[in-house]
Amino acid sequence: MTEALVKVLADALAALAPAHECDLRVLDRAVGREDKLLDALIGDALPSGYLRIWRQAPCITVPHRFGSHPEFRRAAALSADEGRPLALRSSGGTAVALHAGVLNVSLFGLERKGAAPLDPSYRALIGLMSAALATLSIAVDAGPVDGACCDGRFNLRWRGRKLAGTAAAVRSRRGGVGWLAHASLVVDADMDADIEAVARVESLLGIVGAYRGEAHATVAQALEAQGNAGTDPAMRRESVPA
């Protein structure tokens, strides 16, 4: 079911954005392309409103600022030994587990004057995500979720549970301010394993979080709860390796 769901959601998102790229291959170092696209945006080589739809091979992604922590190398080595290497990203927040069951969506925008409007940027991204999920009859809203990993004001929520996290980055150059608003939508996952992996990394970096599995949900769970799964052979549930 995972691959079918990913394809349905990716197609719905692509239809909403005239300028986009969609690569559903599960690739190493896919996170790193965000920096290149943000530079291209500021250099007028990428249109404002550009949407990237992508996946990443198993990893724990963390903000660049974590790279200066004295225990970062130790955390990176231990996480790599567990099959989830650490990957640095431009956006903020804390640690996030990525793998084939997570659909990443990145929206890029450019402001010629003044500061980048991050709240409207988040809302624009959430609007796209909400419209895509509506094609599966999944209704969502935005807000914080107590006990969720990398919690924030603009989580995408289903029935009060975190379905996707969001983060943003801003970069100034040549008189303009470029922004990136990013969401990681959990289509299917072993959430307990993902949470444990995130908590292990964060504990080594001095972050203590009281995370709860029930604070999170997946698209597959939402479909099953709404009685939409199982009617189409392509949507039958399969497990996603962490």
Contact 51, 128 (CB under 8 A): yes
User: Which contacts (CB < 8 Å, 24+ apart) does range 76-83 have?
Assistant: 78/200, 78/201, 78/204, 79/197, 79/200, 79/201, 82/197, 82/200, 83/58, 83/242
| pLDDT tens readout for residues 28-49 | 999 999 999 999 998 889 999 9
Q: What is the per-residue pLDDT for 172?
A: 82
CATH number of 2-235: 3.30.930.10
Taking the chain (242 residues) in runs of 10, the rounded mean pLDDT of each run is 95 97 96 94 93 98 95 97 96 96 96 76 97 97 97 97 96 82 98 97 92 97 80 40 33
Among candidate residues 125, 105, 141, 100, the one with its CA nearest the CA of residue 10: 105
Q: Which is it for the CA torsion 191, 197, 201, 206, positive or negative?
A: positive
Q: How far apart are CA 75 and CA 209, in angstroms?
A: 16
Q: Token digits for 111?
A: 């402001």
The amino acid at 47: P
Q: How far apart are CA 240 and CA 189, in angstroms?
A: 6
Q: What is the per-residue pLDDT for 116?
A: 63
Known catalytic residues are 150
Domain regions of the chain by residue span: 2-235
Q: What is the per-residue pLDDT for 224?
A: 95
Q: What is the per-residue pLDDT for 112?
A: 74
